[in-house]
Amino acid sequence: MKYINQLEPNELIDNFLAHPPQDFSVWLSEDGVPIFSAKFDLLTTADDDFRHKVQKFPFYNKWRRYLKPHTCFVGATVSEYALLTDNVDANQLAEHLKAAYAKQYPFFIVKDIPVASPLLNEKDNHYSMHFISSLKENGFIEVEGQALAWVPIDFANMDEVFLRFSYSRRKNFRRKLRSREKLNINVLHSGDDCFFDDTVLDEYYQLYLNVYQQSEIHFDLLTKPFFTQLLQCKIQNAHIVTYHYNDRLVGFNICFVVNNMLVDKYIGMVYPQARELNLYFISWFVNLEYALQQGFSHYIAGWTDPEVKASLGAKFTFTKHLVYIRNPLLKTVLRRFIGHFESDKEKVT
């Protein structure tokens, strides 16, 4: 099934449904929209200042569990945007979802609805805006979402890319990129023979875990079966850029090609070598170079680290989260603090 707002291959969505993240429950709504439920830390997207203030409240460690309610989400953690369907119009979809889930959960969140995304067609953008309006009419609160980084491949060569930076930044990036000479860089594809070796699968999954564990945000922990299916599935044709140092795998990017766009999804690294080799910066420019060589129109670089990606020349497109809070008193209280959960736009504008 092809969804509205979909920037991923169908097989990746199917993999999410078959092998959900750890401690997640996943299913399809009656209209065929992906839904999942999980314990959700309400401070996940709060700005640092607000989070620190809350953590200093008296007896925080005793009542912090109440900040992690069992929450229902419309969407998928493997998709850039909320996956919707035009099998029903936006008003009906909003009403059906509210009727089915709003009373069952203290928090019901429709996540990552695109707003005039340059990565989508006019039909998808129109449906999403109509859907946002319909949810608000049904009592959902609008919250600014995250910043999705992307780069148009509108340059003829990599020298043009560097000329867009200031002299000092250009000098800094070129210094970091010297480590590229120490690396052996290759592009593999899902379904390649090496991914049917258990030792290789264990290694890739461990590198993914390394990145997950050092991240500030811990939400969706992908499972080993998910990664196995991802790496072995020929149909979804994942492009896997690998980085070896002294014959050892020290990093990878797993990307997909959809609508002639290179969509960067998953990264794995070995620390501290990855930091010492400036692998994050190198992988950014390697991906841009690969997108250029393959004739892709865009490079889509994901949600995390917006400030760093802005410094690397990314553009950003934003989303909305629509939140239904079952308790009227709690809804009134939390409305006052919405601004503390909308920090991405401030970081990149």
Q: Do 289 and 328 lie in a common domain?
A: no
Q: Are 222 and 233 in contact (CB under 8 A)?
A: no
Report residue 11 CA to chain centroid gap.
17
Look up the CATH number of the domain holding residue 281: 3.40.630.30
With a CB cutoff of 8 Å and minimum separation 6, the contacts of 131 are: 84, 90, 93, 94, 110, 113
Q: Do 62 and 194 lie in a common domain?
A: no
Total structural domains in the chain? 2
Q: Is the pTM of this model over 0.85?
A: yes
Q: Is 339 helix (H, G, I), strand (E, B) or coil?
A: helix
C-alpha to C-alpha distance for 35 and 93, rounded to whole angstroms: 13
Q: Do 106 and 206 lie in a common domain?
A: no
302 found inside a domain: no
Q: How far is CA 183 from CA 68, 249, 271, in A?
A: 42, 10, 15
Q: Do 323 and 278 lie in a common domain?
A: no
Q: Do 219 and 185 lie in a common domain?
A: yes
| pLDDT (tens place) for every residue of the chain, 349 residues total | 789 999 999 999 999 999 999 999 999 999 999 999 998 766 566 566 655 565 655 544 555 555 677 899 999 999 999 999 988 999 999 999 999 999 999 999 999 999 999 999 999 999 999 999 999 999 999 988 889 999 999 999 999 999 999 999 999 999 999 999 999 999 999 999 999 999 999 999 999 999 999 877 678 999 999 999 999 999 888 999 999 999 999 999 999 999 999 999 999 999 999 999 999 999 999 999 999 999 999 999 998 889 999 999 999 999 999 999 887 666 665 666 565 454 555 555 5
Q: Dmax of the chain from CA atoms?
A: 59
Residue 272: asked if its preceding bond is cis (omega within 30°), the reply is yes
C-alpha to C-alpha distance for 206 and 201, rounded to whole angstroms: 9
Q: Is 157 helix (H, G, I), strand (E, B) or coil?
A: coil
Q: Do 256 and 327 lie in a common domain?
A: no
Q: Do 223 and 109 lie in a common domain?
A: no
The 8-class DSSP code of residue 248 comes to: E
User: Helices 224-232 and 198-214, interaxial angle, to 10°?
Assistant: 120
Residue 134: how many CB atoms within 10 A of its CB?
A: 20
Write out the DSSP string of 166-210: -HHHHHHHHHHGGGGGGEEEEEEETT-GGGG-HHHHHHHHHHHHH
Domain that holds residue 285: 154-296
Q: Do 21 and 127 lie in a common domain?
A: yes
Going across the sheet that includes 248-258, the strands are 25-28, 34-39, 70-74, 107-114, 315-325, 141-152, 298-302, 261-269, 248-258, 239-245, 183-189
Q: How far is CA 68 from CA 58, 65, 136, 332, in A?
A: 18, 5, 24, 19
User: Helices 167-176 and 279-294, interaxial angle, to 10°?
Assistant: 100
Strands (E), the chain: 25-28, 34-39, 70-74, 107-114, 141-152, 183-189, 239-245, 248-258, 261-269, 298-302, 315-325
Residue with the two structure tokens 């805006």: 129
Q: Do 18 and 123 lie in a common domain?
A: yes
Q: Is 36 helix (H, G, I), strand (E, B) or coil?
A: strand
Q: Do 166 and 291 lie in a common domain?
A: yes
